[in-house]
Each structure stands twice: as C-alpha cells, then as structure tokens.
Structure 1
Amino acid sequence: MEIKTGTIYNKTRQAFDDGFKICIHRGGTGSGKTYDNMLYLFSVAVTHPDLIITVVSESRPHLEIGAIRILSGICKPLNLWGKENWNISKSTWTSPTGTIIEFFSADRIDKALGARRDWLYGNEINSLKKDVWDELARRTENVIADFNPTAQFWVEDWAANYDKVLTIKSNYLDNPFLPDTEKNRIAKRASRDENFRRIHIDCEYGVTEGIIFSNWMQVDRMPEGNYIYGLDFGFVNDHTALVKTLETDDAFYVEELIYQTGMLNSHIINRLESLGIRKNYDEIIADSAEPKSIQEIHNAGFNIKPAVKGADSVRTGIDRLQSKPIYVTQRSTNLIKELRSYSWALDKDGNPTNKPIDMYNHGIDALRYSLNPKHKFSFAIR
C-alpha cells in the first residue's frame, strides 16, 4: 500500500537526514503538522528495530482526536492495529520491528520522566510546562515539536540550550490534502482577522493583549449537579456547538458535547438522544436567532428555550463569565482552543475595543446561552 506524504513529512525527513537533532514546527491551522509528524514517526517505527518513541500532549482527549487517531488511521489499512499492536490500557503501539510508540498526556508525563528514549514528539508544546518538556528532551536522541504561534512562550529560550536545531514554518498552503472547504474557511478568516493571519498564515506570534478570558483552567471531569445545556447553531462555515454547564457559588463548569459543521436539525436531535439528554426535563438554552430550529427540536420532545439577546447581551454574558473561575473538562478540546483565541477587536491604532471579534466563539456562545439568567419567548413554542 502506498502512503501519500505531505510537505511537513518531507521537510522533517530531510531535516534529520541532514543531521539535525531537533525539529521544531511553527505552523498555522490546517498545515498538516500532526499528521505528517505521526506519519514520519510511523515510518521510523516500521524501519528501525527496538526503538522507544514517546508522544506527549496536553490531555488524553487531545491525543485521542489527534495523534492516536492519526496513527490508527495509518495502521488499520495495513492490518497493524490489532491487539498484538495496540495496547489501549498502556497507550502503546508496537511495530512489527519491536519499536514502541508510547503516548503520554500532561497528567501522566511524570511516568515518563527519568526514562530515556530514541524519539520524542511534543504535539502543541506551548500547552506543556517548560521544565517538564526539557526533562523529557534532555533524555532523548531526536526531538520533534510543533505548535501554533498563538502567543510567545518559552520555546526559543529552551532551544538556545541545544545544538542542531531547525525551525520550520508552515501554513495551510503546505498541506496538499486539506479539503477545499477548510481552505476556504481559513482564507476567509485570514481576510477578516489580522491576528489570525499573523498566526496561521505568516506563522508569527499572535498579539495577546486583547484575549478576553484568562480566568479558566482544565479539569478532569464535571462535578455532579443539575446541568443546563447551551446550544449554538451552525451549518456550513460555522460549527454547531452544544455544551453542558454547571454554575456553583464559586465557579462555572463546562464540558463540550458537540462541535461539528453540517448538522441538520434531525442530526442534532439524534445526538441529543444519544447523549442521554432527557426529554421534557433537561433544560437547553439555544440561539434565539433560529426559532424554526428551536421549534423542531422542541417538537421532538426536548425542553429547549431561546436565549435572551438584548442590545448588549454579548458583553453582559462576557462580564458574567469573567466574574468567576471557569473550569473546562480536558475533553473539551475545541472550547479550549476558543478560550485561548477569543479576543477583543482592535481599533485603527491596534488597541483593544470593548467589542469581541465574531470568531472562535461557537462553544463560548453556547456557554453564554446556558448561563442566561432568564429566558424570553419571542415566539410560541407549541
């Protein structure tokens, strides 16, 4: 079976063939960094015996929808994803050569500290702590790292302590396999948002002065309680987002349940049912701009209501979310990305305004709706 390789794969392979020991990928969304880096490590694993390859990222869910999913997609057509290869309890994959690829999330990295390995891959290392990453890298022969340059962090200072380091920049134009739909979305956002263009097209560090939320952190799971659900509708270019929330006296808790494009109302209803959301009981607060969708979901038996949208409802909702710590479950990978990117629009002098950019906000909007203090009925739900 022939496996097609992308630009990042070829540049990574060339870097190590040329004698570099550390390859850092600074790339924008859609550039194919994760896929090509995993493909390169797979090629190493099936051509070299008895190596140890460690892949680290910020959370288990991030690994599952990223590096692990990619490796399984490469291996399954080759019949290399059976029980003899993939150990789900240990999160290790064993090549026919005896080489092992092991996966560690940030909360398990301590189990990898002190051990030596042949290869280390850090996926989105800007989410890792510098001292932990350095501890891993110092005990590794060859290192690959990648990140989106959303904000300046410790990587240049860290790399200055090592020799034979190469930094490679890439954007979505370097990915020959990216669907046209996603290419168009990236190009449209870049045309509307200078900071997005700076990060994801030019691969320069983004401006962080206008980031709206800094009062959030990740947790393993939601506490028990009476949950309220928030729903933001999307379709072609925008994602439909559903979140589960819980407000306590001291904090907000939130978990992402749906984040997907192309969903018809029938798809949403099926997902609500599969998620175990109870009809005529669990409260869902949805975007009031979609009365027809709300009515259809209500007709299916769900306790759905339209959110209040006043003249300054977005700013009011942001103020409320800034009033307490926000705890986001690790599996909420898209919502976490939004919280890291959601920012105030800039004026002509580059200063933040009091109006947020209408991007990176589908999950955040759903979160705002779920925390509405009251709900209005601008139309009759029958």
Structure 2
Amino acid sequence: MRTKYRQPSSQYVFGYQKFILMPEDHKATKSGKANVKLPEVVGKGYGTFWRWKGRYRAVKGSRASKKSKTTALWYITNMMKYPDANTLVVRKTYRTLKDSCFTELKWAIHRLGVDAFWDIKESPLEMTYKPTGQKIYFRGLDDPLKVTSITVDQGVLCWMWIEEAYEISSEDDFNMLDESIRGAIPEGSDLFKQITVTFNPWNEHHWLKKRFFDNPDDETLALTTNYKCNEWLDKADLKVFETMKKQNPRRYAVAGLGNWGIVDGLVYENWREEAFTLEQIRQQYSIDSAFGLDFGYTNDPSALFCGFIDTKNKKIFVWDEMYSAGLSNERIYQNITDMGYAKERITADSAEPKSIDQLKGYGLRVKGADKGKDSINNGIQFIQDFEIIIHPRCVNFLTEISNYTWDKDKFGNKLNRPIDDFNHLMDAMRYALEKYIKKGSGWLYK
C-alpha cells in the first residue's frame, strides 16, 4: 500500500531530531514518528560546523576524521528541515562521484533511518526527497555546462558540497561554481546559501589555503579536523595512524593530523594540466601507447597508468587512470576491461608474479617490469627530459605528481632517491615507459 507523507515539523535542532512519517501500512510505528538523537549519530567534534550559516565552510582534515560522513549527514538532515533547499554535489570528474559522495549520502540516509523518504537514482546520479520533490544533484567539472545549467523544480539551489576540493587546481573554476549558487531566498524564510569544501591538505601552495585559511572573513568557517575526533575508530584503525607516525612522519602530518603538506623538491617539474582528445594528439604527434600497473591492496591503491609517448617531440600524454584500494586481481581485470583497455600491452610491477600470472589467465596482455639496480633513478632521469601533459580527469595522477618529491635525511638534506609516497602512478608510469627508457638512455636493466 502506498505510504503518505507530510512535511516534517520545523522543530529541528542539533541534539534531537524528529522525522515525521504518516503511514498507512502495517510496518510503520504506532505513533508514526521516528526519533533520532543526532549527537549519537554524528558524534563529537563538529558542533560549530553543524550550526554555521555563513557562505563558506572549508574543512581540511586527515583520513578518518569524519569530515565527509558528517557533511553527508548534515545535508540529508537539513534537506528534510528546509523545504525550499536543493543541493549540488561536485567533484572535478563526474565518474568519481558514485563511489564517494553518492555513497556517503546513501549511507547517511540509512544511518538516519529515513530510507522511505528518499528516491535514489544511479542513472543519472540523483536523490529526491519524496515529500517535497527537493533534489540533490551530482555534477563533475569535466562537463561545466551541466554545472551551470541546473534548473530546480522546487525551491532554490542554495547549497553546494565540493568533495576532494584539492583536485580543483584553478580558483577560477571554483568562482564559476560559486556563481552557480543563485536564486532569491523566499521572503521570510530562514534558508541560507552555503558552499562546503572538504579535502585533504596535501600542498600548502594550493589556492584553498590562501582563500579560506590564511585570512578568513566573517562569512567563512575554516576547520582542521583529524582522526582523533572519531570516536568510532577501533584499535586496528588507530594502529594504522601510530605506525604511520613512526614510519612516515611527513605523511602523518597531513593524513594523520590534517596539517598542510610542505612540498619542496619536486621530482617532476615539467608538467601541466590540459584537456585533449586522442584525435588532437594523433594529428599533431607520432604517439605510441604506454600502460603500466602498480599493485596494491589494503592501504595502497592498485594504480593503472594509461598514456601515450612521443619520443621525437619529448612529450608524454597522461590519458586515463585506475586508482583504487582493496581490489582483487579479478576486480583489477574487470576494471581494466570496463575501461576499454583489455587488449593493451601492460607492464606491471614484477614484485608480484602470482598476480601477473592470474591477470594473464583472465586474458590480459601483461608482463612484469625488468627491474634492476638504479631502475627508479634511471627511469626518473629519462622522464624528466619530457614534457608531461595530464588530462584533467586524471585527478590522482595530478595529486601524486604535485607531491612526489626527493627524500631527505634526518638533517633535512636531500637524498638521491624519491620519497616512498605518492608513487603508485609514478611507478606505474615508469613501468609503462620501460622499453623507451632502456632504448632512450642506452641503459639495460641488470
């Protein structure tokens, strides 16, 4: 039997929240009310964030700091509170939304126990609050026209969540998004316009720092959060951070404490971000394809580099990527197949011969890299002679190459080796270019 809804009451406060359901079926509660104690659902550390009504909320934080989950909970709760509010959720590339923000918002709906109120669609990604028709839209900056052309059926487009805002390298792109939050607030309403940016602060030179953190105005809330405010982490989770603190202090400062990453001494400096098509570069350059695979699993991602090289004009084009932790070999094969690269020749990390054999068994044309003495530095020296053009959708490659630096000793002196971090796609690129490295440098692996 169809369930009837009426608009929830306006008595919404941070602390005790009522969602009102007027049911006709036997599964509903006798009172028709579901009571949710938000502090028990959200946890501690985000009270100011929850209550802020200024134009901007900028939250940089470590892994497991609850920033994304708390943001998702806020949007679901407040969409149900404000009947004229609509939300736009943005990442640099549309394809990354389903496994990030979309999943987080679905989790929030379920955690609040309000599944019956929401209609969730995956093609295209969209969420609708059934009682009013309010919507949560999902867009990527790789299709800017779809970002700026949204027209809402009910109320106004007043809220925006930009997840992994670090990926947006141009402040002009952010300004374009800022301007898309438009439309008059209904007279007499307590609704407000707001943009929330959440991100990991890998690079202190990013425009986000200057704009939101160095000198915030009275319309900006700038927060730094870390895993220590997450009361739901277990001993195993905490041990990951304690190990990181001992073994990789540089990463711990950012991924553990949420501090800005200090980037000094980049391995690759001759690179730029630029949109291009295969037709464009095939018309201008004589290119060969190059595919490399670095294995990961629990903490490290499996990373596939998909690119092209023009040895005559000294250019490397970074075209596509796979970057995900927790992938079985079967899942790696399926992802590569779904991306359309099942017939490509792939050079993979030879440290995992069993994985390579399994991928061969699935039908991939994969071989192990011929690693040898000084293979990392020889590969780096070869690549440094090239200009690297990176397609904007390769957000993980952009993050790695802008943080891949030379290591230092305990006195701060640079060493002749790169850091063992931000190197999954960097290693995959070297594997992909192995035959050109050996030929171009006159060097053979031992």
For Structure 1 versus Structure 2, the TM-score category normalised by the shorter chain is 0.7 to 0.9
Shift of residue 104, structure 1, vs aligned partner: 3.4
Shift of residue 197, structure 1, vs aligned partner: 2.4
Secondary structure (helix, strand or coil) at the match of 2:372 reads coil
Identical-pair percentage:
24
Shift of residue 226, structure 1, vs aligned partner: 6.0
Residue segments in structure 2 that go unaligned for 5+ positions in a row: 1-33, 183-192, 439-443
Paired position in structure 2 for 1:25: 59
Partner Cα separation in structure 2 for residue 135 and residue 303 of structure 1: 43
Paired position in structure 2 for 1:78: 115
Which deviations, in whole Å up to 9, do the C-alpha atoms of 1:326-372 show, x marking residues without a partner? 34455544444323332221233424333111122222212211110
Which deviations, in whole Å up to 9, do the C-alpha atoms of 1:25-50 show, x marking residues without a partner? 12122322222212211111112112
Paired position in structure 2 for 1:165: 220
Alpha-carbon contact 2:61-2:255 (below 8 Å) kept:
yes
Partner Cα separation in structure 2 for residue 228 and residue 155 of structure 1: 34
Alignment counterpart, residue 317 of structure 1, candidates 370, 373, 379 = 379
Partner Cα separation in structure 2 for residue 365 and residue 285 of structure 1: 11
Deviates more, 1:104-113 or 1:62-71: 104-113
Shift of residue 71, structure 1, vs aligned partner: 2.1
Secondary structure (helix, strand or coil) at the match of 1:230 reads strand
**Could you say what the CA RMSD is over the residues aligned between the two structures, in angstroms?**
3.7
State the aligned residue count: 369
Paired position in structure 2 for 1:112: 148
Alignment counterpart, residue 93 of structure 1, candidates 127, 132, 146 = 127
1:356 aligns with 2:414: no
Alignment counterpart, residue 74 of structure 2, candidates 21, 26, 40 = 40
1:55 aligns with 2:89: yes
Q: Which amino acid aligns with 1:130?
A: E
Paired position in structure 1 for 2:257: 202
Shift of residue 114, structure 1, vs aligned partner: 11
1:66 aligns with 2:80: no
Which deviations, in whole Å up to 9, do the C-alpha atoms of 1:121-169 show, x marking residues without a partner? 3323344333443465476733322222222333454344732433221
TM-score by length of 2: 0.69
Alpha-carbon contact 2:89-2:162 (below 8 Å) kept:
yes
Q: Which amino acid aligns with 2:115?
A: L
Partner Cα separation in structure 2 for residue 114 and residue 259 of structure 1: 31
Q: Kindly tell me: are residues 199 and 297 of structure 1, through their superposed partners in 2, closer, same or farther at Cα, counting changes over 3 Å?
A: closer
Alignment counterpart, residue 171 of structure 2, candidates 115, 118, 130 = 130
Note the 1:1-382 alignment, pairs <5 A.
4-7=41-44, 10-13=47-50, 15-16=51-52, 20-75=54-109, 78-79=115-116, 82=119, 86=121, 88-89=123-124, 92-96=126-130, 97-109=132-144, 111-112=147-148, 117-128=157-168, 129-134=170-175, 136-137=177-178, 141-152=193-204, 153-155=206-208, 157-159=210-212, 160=215, 162-177=217-232, 183-214=238-269, 215-217=271-273, 219=275, 227-248=289-310, 249=313, 250-257=315-322, 259-261=324-326, 263=328, 265=329, 268-269=332-333, 277-278=341-342, 282-299=344-361, 301-373=363-435
Higher gyration radius (CA)? 2
Partner Cα separation in structure 2 for residue 218 and residue 260 of structure 1: 27
Partner Cα separation in structure 2 for residue 47 and residue 347 of structure 1: 54
Q: Kindly tell me: are residues 200 and 7 of structure 1, through their superposed partners in 2, closer, same or farther at Cα, counting changes over 3 Å?
A: farther
Alpha-carbon contact 1:28-1:172 (below 8 Å) kept:
yes
Q: Which has the higher contact order (CA 8 A, sep 6+)?
A: 1
Shift of residue 112, structure 1, vs aligned partner: 3.1
Secondary structure (helix, strand or coil) at the match of 1:246 reads strand
Q: Kindly tell me: are residues 298 and 145 of structure 1, through their superposed partners in 2, closer, same or farther at Cα, counting changes over 3 Å?
A: closer
Secondary structure (helix, strand or coil) at the match of 1:168 reads strand
Q: Which amino acid aligns with 1:50?
A: D
Residue segments in structure 1 that go unaligned for 5+ positions in a row: none
